[in-house]
């Protein structure tokens, strides 16, 4: 997981829900490439063609509210979104993002930048910086367990390691 | 210092004497569920984890309810993946089409979720099960995969926001109206990262069906779960149903709460949530005065597709016709509801009125199939979400209301109250049983 992400911001509003991130009509697949093709299209049909790999989504309150569909963070990640910064996240989305290895940063006071400005997310310092103005915004630290999952590369490798340990214990005690 | 209802359940499931809001625990899970949208991804991630066997086949339910019966080859392949996994792992609770129901209606009905359980599901409306006094929450597919392998999941113990309802409901006011009103009051992020606990004198008089409706929409206020303390209504409902012994937990009087919201139910009118957020609620009288013509009316979903809902809708529709410009779609939420509605003649009422009745499916609620909206169309729905594009085109509109309001609107061709049809309160109380003030 990168310690620092520098990218171009796309600013979206409050309560961006999972239905507009990836509409249900595309949920007969879980192929990331296919999902990325339709990312955010019900929010703004022009956005997906403007997103470049490494861009950062800067949102308001309650980002990712609604459905439990993990397809939402998968689609954002596959579209090249490097990180989502929001004033607050819906709980299921936040957890899903960490599980699939999409970095998420909560800045309670918000990050008032304009779209296409460059922002820098520094995970070690716990800050988000607006490069043009130099303004620095504090980020909430991730809970320990989520940091471990993100650092392992997502929940799959994290659980794989635990299952492997269980097998070793079982073999040793047999 | 005492614990809340949620803290008690999570303490017991994580082998601790005490937990506090904010603690991170590893909790044993009693029931795990997934549907045809989320299970295929769970199965894929389960295999990637190197897991070969689920921790307990009896603790996993697979319900194909979203794109089911399958409207496309891709959807059929998703159901096929869960069917094959269920056979491979010997899961007894895979529900085939024809014996199926919407997961959050089906599982409690089948007695697969009981009071005191910890339930996680790869569907945000898993919180519906909180109506039984269980801790139930939605997660993504990978979390579900991990729980299927390990039998446990990590949870941050949530703070609890208490909603205290008092007073008797007015005629035509249903539990759906109470929850819409509540979300309108606290907002769609009003309980973010928290548990909503529904309490107060009014809830004692609300049927299990109404409680499921209210718990179902906790997620629409951002809550991790919505929960009722199990009482005599719960236990009576579980009689002959529960497949495991219920465990009744109660919050301590000196527990710490994030806050308390008091709602005088006597002030609540039937509600309508306007596009595109469930918090944009207005009283039906105000909505009715705006002459909002509708193209489609939908009665069904895990929110309001239960028997009580169909009885209420049928009471409004009996002897009446659906407006010529309106499509009415009625979907009983489970096979059991379907059969009972058939036996009571309710389905006849819908068909006679000119409505379409379908086998159980989530279809229209999420714009999957069986009632997708075209550009510019407006629908009124008994479901739980009215996000942009939820039921179809991004330039369509969804209004949320109770089955009674949806049925009345279907007849009049515009958003309307049942009272506009000359239906008085007797018609209402006949249907909902003894609840008069």
d(CA B148, CA B29): 9
Task: Name residues whose C-beta falls within 8 Å of residue B126's C-beta, 6 or more positions apart in sequence.
Answer: A68, B33, B104, B119, B120, B136, B137, B138, B139
Q: What is the DSSP letter of B267?
A: G
pLDDT tens for chain B, 437 residues: list them: 899 999 999 999 999 999 999 999 999 999 999 999 999 999 999 999 999 999 999 999 999 999 999 999 999 999 999 999 999 999 999 999 999 999 999 999 999 999 999 999 999 999 999 999 999 999 999 999 999 999 999 999 999 999 999 999 999 999 999 999 999 999 999 999 999 999 999 999 999 999 999 999 999 999 999 999 999 999 999 999 999 999 999 999 999 999 999 999 999 999 999 999 999 999 999 999 999 999 999 999 999 999 999 999 999 999 999 999 999 999 999 999 999 999 999 999 999 999 999 999 999 999 999 999 999 999 999 999 999 999 999 999 999 999 999 999 999 999 999 999 999 898 998 887 644 43
* Phi/psi-derived region of residue B310, left when phi > 0, alpha when psi is between -120 and 50, beta in every other case: alpha
Give B195 to chain A, closest Cα distance, Å.
11
d(CA A29, CA B74): 7
The answer to the question of whether B127 is labelled as a binding residue is: no
d(CA A51, CA A27): 21
Number of neighbouring beta carbons within 10 Å of residue B248: 12
- pLDDT for the residue numbered B433: 60
A69:B140 CB<8 A: yes
> Splitting chain A (174 residues) into consecutive groups of 10 residues, what average pLDDT does each group show?
92 98 96 97 96 98 98 98 98 97 95 97 95 96 91 93 91 86
**Looking at the complex, does the CB of residue A129 fall below 8 Å from at least one CB of chain B?**
no
Tell me whether strands A127-130 and A136-138 are parallel, antiparallel or unpaired: antiparallel
**Looking at the complex, does the CB of residue A98 fall below 8 Å from at least one CB of chain B?**
no
Contact residues, A window 147-166, toward B, CB-based 8 Å cutoff: 154-156, 159-160, 162-164
Q: How many CA atoms lie within 13 A of B367 on its CB side?
A: 29
B140:A163 CB<8 A: no
Instruction: Mutate one of A24, A46, A142 to test the B interface: name it (highest B CB count within 10 A).
Output: A24
Instruction: Print burial letters for A4-37: b (CB count within 10 Å at least 16), e (below 16).
Output: ebbbbbbbbebbbbbbbbbbbbbbbbbebeebbe
Who among A15, A67, A145 is closest to B24 (CB)? A145
A25:B141 CB<8 A: no
Picking from B393, B397, B377, the residue whose alpha carbon sits closest to that of residue B385 is B397
- Tens-place pLDDT, residues B114-136: 999 999 999 999 999 999 999 99
d(CA A20, CA A72): 9
B142:A144 CB<8 A: no
**Looking at the complex, does the CB of residue B55 fall below 8 Å from at least one CB of chain A?**
no
Picking from A109, A112, A43, A108, the residue whose alpha carbon sits closest to that of residue A81 is A43
Give B365 to chain A, closest Cα distance, Å.
10
d(CA B398, CA B391): 7
**Looking at the complex, does the CB of residue B275 fall below 8 Å from at least one CB of chain A?**
no
Phi first, then psi, for residue A72 (nearest 5°) are: -65, -60
d(CA B266, CA B370): 37
**Looking at the complex, does the CB of residue B49 fall below 8 Å from at least one CB of chain A?**
yes
ipTM at complex level: 0.96
3-state secondary structure B290-344: CCCECCEEEECHHHHCCHHHHHHHHHHHCCCCCCCCCEEEECCCEHHHHHHHHHC
Instruction: Mutate one of A18, A20, A28 to test the B interface: name it (highest B CB count within 10 A).
Output: A28
A91-100 and B141-150 are packed helices; what angle lies between their axes, rounded to 10 degrees? 70
- Both tokens assigned to A147: 């940091």
d(CA B256, CA B194): 13
Question: What is the three-class DSSP state of B152?
Answer: strand
Task: Name residues whose C-beta falls within 8 Å of residue B38's C-beta, 6 or more positions apart in sequence.
Answer: A68, A69, A70, B122, B123, B140, B141, B144
Who among A28, A66, A70 is closest to B387 (CB)? A66
3-state helix, strand, coil split of chain A in percent (to 5) is 35, 20, 45
d(CA B383, CA B169): 21
d(CA B269, CA B284): 7
């Amino acid at each position: 997981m990168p310690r620092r992400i520098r990218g171009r911001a796309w600013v979206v509003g409050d309560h961006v829900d999972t239905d507009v991130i990836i509409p249900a009509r595309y949920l007969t697949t879980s192929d990331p490439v296919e999902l990325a093709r339709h990312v955010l299209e019900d929010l703004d049909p022009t956005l997906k063609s403007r997103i470049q790999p490494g861009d950062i989504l800067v949102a308001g309150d309650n980002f990712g509210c609604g459905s439990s569909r993990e397809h939402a963070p998968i689609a954002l990640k596959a579209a090249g979104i490097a990180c989502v910064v929001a004033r607050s996240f819906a709980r299921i989305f936040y957890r899903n993002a960490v599980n699939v290895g999409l970095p998420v940063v909560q800045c309670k006071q918000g990050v008032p930048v304009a779209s296409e400005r460059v922002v820098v997310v520094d995970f070690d310092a716990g800050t988000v910086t607006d490069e043009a103005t130099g303004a620095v915004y504090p980020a909430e630290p991730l809970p320990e367990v989520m940091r471990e999952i993100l650092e392992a590369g997502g929940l799959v490798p994290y659980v794989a390691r635990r299952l492997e340990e269980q097998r070793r214990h079982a073999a040793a005690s047999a | 210092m005492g614990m809340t209802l949620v803290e008690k359940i999570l303490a017991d499931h994580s082998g601790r004497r005490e937990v506090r809001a904010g603690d991170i625990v590893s909790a044993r899970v009693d029931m795990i569920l997934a549907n045809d949208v989320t299970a295929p991804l769970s199965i894929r991630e389960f295999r990637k984890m190197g897991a070969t066997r689920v921790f307990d086949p009896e603790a996993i339910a697979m319900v194909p309810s979203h794109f089911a019966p399958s409207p496309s080859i891709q959807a059929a392949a998703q159901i096929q993946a869960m069917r094959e996994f269920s056979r491979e792992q010997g899961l007894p609770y895979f529900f085939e089409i024809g014996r199926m129901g919407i997961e959050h209606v089906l599982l409690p009905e089948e007695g697969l979720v009981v009071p005191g359980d910890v339930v996680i599901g790869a569907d945000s409306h898993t919180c519906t099960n909180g109506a039984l006094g269980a801790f139930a929450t939605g997660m993504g597919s990978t979390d579900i995969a991990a729980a299927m392998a390990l039998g446990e999941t990590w949870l941050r113990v949530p703070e609890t926001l208490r909603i205290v309802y008092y007073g008797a409901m007015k005629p035509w006011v249903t539990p759906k109206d109470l929850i819409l009103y509540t979300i309108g009051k606290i907002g769609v992020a009003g309980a973010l990262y928290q548990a909503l606990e529904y309490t107060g004198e009014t809830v004692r008089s609300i049927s299990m069906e109404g409680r499921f409706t209210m718990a179902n929409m906790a997620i629409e206020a951002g809550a991790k779960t919505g929960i009722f303390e199990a009482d005599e209504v719960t236990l009576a409902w579980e009689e002959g149903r529960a497949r495991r012994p219920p465990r009744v937990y109660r919050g301590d009087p000196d527990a710490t709460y994030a806050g308390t919201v008091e709602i005088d139910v006597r002030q609540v009118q039937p509600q309508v949530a306007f596009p595109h957020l469930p918090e944009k609620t207005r009283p039906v009288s105000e909505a009715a005065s705006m002459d909002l013509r509708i193209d489609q009316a939908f009665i069904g979903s895990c929110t309001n597709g239960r028997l009580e809902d169909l009885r209420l809708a049928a009471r409004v529709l009996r002897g009446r016709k659906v407006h010529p410009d309106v499509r009415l779609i009625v979907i009983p939420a489970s096979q059991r509801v379907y059969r009972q509605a058939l036996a009571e003649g309710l389905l006849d009422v819908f068909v006679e009125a000119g409505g379409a009745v379908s086998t159980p499916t989530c279809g229209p609620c999420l714009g999957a199939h069986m009632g997708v909206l075209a550009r510019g169309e407006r629908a009124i729905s008994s479901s739980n979400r009215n996000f942009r594009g939820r039921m179809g085109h991004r330039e369509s509109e969804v209004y949320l209301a109770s089955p009674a309001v949806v049925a009345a609107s279907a007849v009049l061709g515009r958003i309307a109250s049942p009272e506009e049809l000359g239906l008085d309160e007797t018609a209402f109380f006949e249907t909902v049983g003894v609840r008069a003030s």
